[in-house]
Each structure stands twice: as structure tokens, then as C-alpha cells.
Amino acid sequence: MKVSLFTEIQCPSGSVPAELLQQFLDQAELGDALGYDGYWVAEIHFTPSFSLLSAPYVVLGAATQRTRRLSLGVAVNTLPIHHPMQLAEQAATLDVLSGGRMCFAAGGGHPHTRAYECFGVEHEHVRDLMRESIEVIRLAWTEESVDYQGRFFRIPDIVANPKPLQRPHPPLYTAASSLDGVNFAARMGLNLFIPVHVRTAEELRQFSAAYREGLAAHGHDPEEYELGLLLPMHVGGTEAEARDRSEAGVMSYYDVIRDTRGSYADWLLSQGRPLPERLRANAAAGGVTFERVCNGFAAIGTADQVVERIGELARDTGAGHVLAWMNIGSVAHDHIKESMQRFAEDALAAVRGI
């Protein structure tokens, strides 16, 4: 079992962006020293309380100078709002700068940030845009030049510069919180991340089974692909300590996501526009209690309890990678570092053996 870290770098009211970015770099350096496999960051626009990560490659470029072994990736690159050649070159530059440590996750991103409306993307075109973008990015990394004629992108025999160090190309992932997204991952032959924090246990089992069945149906060997789980996590000396240190911070995330989605839905209705299916399918953030988070959507407790929770998820889904979301919401920087340290010392070896 691989164990990486993940963050969206929420920016609660009263916080200082420069300080939060430096805290992220401190956490990346610590994670590198403690033996975590990677650190993934989000790409999210226009909503400061939700995330500072509007320019994730700038942030990860800084992280390359503070780390030596962590893989570094954006989960997810919001493909519909970018030209794929631009993304291919940015990501390949990170791969070169890091000495071949870049991983790439493709996705539709967060539509409730109004990014689609700002960048002129129609919701109904998202899957087709993603498919063409992934095709172009693969070509940019593996072929000498790219001559591509698609519905959305027409590329006139040009060279992506630089090429990534990893051959044939860096690992490719996507993230999905719906069956449609899972089926897309299987069809395209992509490694998959599933977010635990918004899905029930039954949905996790359903999605993981559909992913493997879909890979096989599309001619891909399921054994060659990685399933990862995005899991909010906090490790304390006791269960009470873990809960006490994380509750306000974790719940601030659910508050922000509820308010952001609600604001977007109200704005769409005011414009006379329908609510996108992707947003309706992920509208479960409202009404979530901390007790429900601890019981179903996260791993919060002692090192032994967290190992047990990850083992349960692995048995249910067959996952081989956990993205530990310790820097979530407004959890304090010092408590994040202590949780990272406790997990590395008291749980990492056991989880690797799952």
C-alpha cells in the first residue's frame, strides 16, 4: 500500500496566504523526510476560503526545492479550462525540475467555483474535452511532434517542450465521485482516485468493482492499474485527542464546500440555468456531522485505529494507495505535523503491509 499526502490549502477567514503556502512547503519537506510516497495538491479557482491553489505548478515547483524523493502531482488538473499542450508542457517541466517525480491526475475539477463559466466551458462538453485533452497530452509526452485534429483541439504538427524524464510517460490518474467518472477512467485506461469523504461504503464498493470490470471490458489488465482513496485523516495519541484536534478544522471544510455549492446553485438559478448533474450527484456535504465523518468518511483516531480503518477500506475496494488528507480545512499546522509524525512512526509500516 502506497501512502501519499494531499491538500487543497483552504484559506479560512483571517488567515494569511503566504503563511499557509510556507506551511505547505514545511509539510512537504517533513513528508519527504518521514517516508511518505507523494504529495498531491488540488487546482481550484476563484474561491479563497475553499483553496489557494489556483496555480498548483508554481507551488509544486517550489516543493521540488524542499524535497528529494516525494512524487508531486496535481489532483486534479482541471482539463476543460486548459489547452492540453500548455498543461503537457507545464507538467513535463515539473517532471524535469523534480528529477522525474511528477504524477498527473486529469479531471473535470470543481464546477461550483464558476470556473467553467469564466473560461467559457459548457458542462455538457466536459467528458469529450477531457478525452481529447488526455489523448493530446499522451501524444505530447511520447511523440516527437503532435499533429492532432479533434472536435475541440486542432494542433498543427508542433513539438511539446520539454519532454518529461519518465518514460514512456509519467503516471496518469483521474479522480471520480460518480459511476460516470469511474467508467470514463476505465475506458481511457487511467489509474483512479476515489474520494472517501463524500461517498458511502456501499458506493466505494460499487465504484471499485465497476472500475475493475470496466478496465477488463475495455481491454485493459486491471492488475496493471492503481486504485487510490482520498481519505481525511488525523492521528492522535488517543482517539479523544485526535478528534479534539481535528473536529473544528475538518468541519470547516464541510462548511466551506456546502456554502460554495449552495452559492453556485443559487447563482445558476438566478441566471435561469439548470443545475449540472455532476453538482447534483455531489450535493451530500450539507448536514454532515462530525460523528458521521469519523464513522464513515475519514480515519481519525489512534495509529492502530487508522491502520484498522485503512485495512477495512482496502478489503472493501482493493485499493493500493491512500492519499492522507491531513491538511484539511483549518486544522492547525502544528497538529498536522504531529499527525504526520505519529502516522509515519506508528502506522506507516503496518499500512505498507496491507
Positive or negative torsion for Cα 300, 304, 307, 312? negative
Q: What is the pLDDT of residue 337?
A: 98
Q: Can you give the residue range of the structural domain that contains 140?
A: 2-352
Q: What are the tens digits of pLDDT across the range 146-162?
A: 999 999 999 999 999 99
pLDDT of 259 reads 92
CATH code (residue 103): 3.20.20.30
What would the pLDDT profile of 319-333 be if each residue is shown by its tens digit?
A: 999 999 999 999 999
pLDDT of residue 279: 65
Instruction: Profile the chain (354 residues) by mean pLDDT over runs of 10 residues.
Output: 98 94 98 98 95 98 98 98 98 98 96 94 96 98 98 98 97 96 98 96 97 98 98 98 98 94 91 77 66 97 98 98 98 98 98 96
- Count of domains observed in the chain: 1
Alpha-carbon distance of 246 to 162, in angstroms, equals 42
